[in-house]
Amino acid sequence: MVNKNYINAYKTANNSMNSIMSSHEIIRELMFNLANSMERVFIDISEFQDDDLQSNNISKKETALKKSKNMSKCLSIIYGLQTCLDFDKSPEIAGGLFQLYEFARQKIIKGFSQKDAAGVRQAIEVIKEVLDGWKKIPAEERKV
């Protein structure tokens, strides 16, 4: 019971924090979560092959569920990032970011379906580069 109270308090605090975050901070957080989720997809593809399932005593159903969850999270975040782009305000930047997100999306789908860990690694590097750019934006240029 006490743990449930702590979990509820954490969720409330986390929701409150999100309401005061600037759009810049939200995008940066999404990018960070995307990079982490993509790393998990990379690990899923490169480490958990069918042969490993037998030796690690991991059921195929559990592994498939985990892989699908990681994949779904990546695609959801990418979709969210793409829909947040403002093509009216800055069409060149929005267009470039859209293409980078689309590249990552396609590499993740291909990597997941064809077990192409190298393609997922390429996508991770692109997303990390974009994230580094977000981190370097000076505080005075970030809009609240």
What CATH number is attached to the domain comprising 36? Answer: 1.20.120.340
In a domain, 12, yes or no: no
In a domain, 5, yes or no: no
In a domain, 10, yes or no: no
In a domain, 52, yes or no: yes
Could you tell me where the DSSP H helices lie in 21-59? 23-47, 50-56
Q: What is the pLDDT along the chain (144 residues), one digit of tens a residue?
A: 445 665 665 556 555 555 567 788 888 899 999 999 999 999 988 875 555 545 555 577 777 788 889 899 999 999 999 998 999 998 999 999 999 999 999 999 999 889 889 999 999 999 999 999 888 888 777 664
Helix (H) or strand (E) holding 48: none
d(CA 37, CA 19) in angstroms, rounded, equals 23
In a domain, 9, yes or no: no
Note down the domain range covering 55.
22-141
Query: Of 62, 80, 72, whose CA–CA distance to 40 is shortest?
Result: 72
In a domain, 36, yes or no: yes
| Cβ partners under 8 Å of residue 123, min gap 6 | 38, 103, 104, 107, 108, 111
In a domain, 123, yes or no: yes
Radius of gyration of the chain (CA): 18
How many distinct structural domains can be found in the chain? 1
Q: At residue 120, what are phi and psi to the nearest 5 degrees?
A: -65, -40
User: DSSP secondary-structure letter at 137?
Assistant: S
In a domain, 93, yes or no: yes
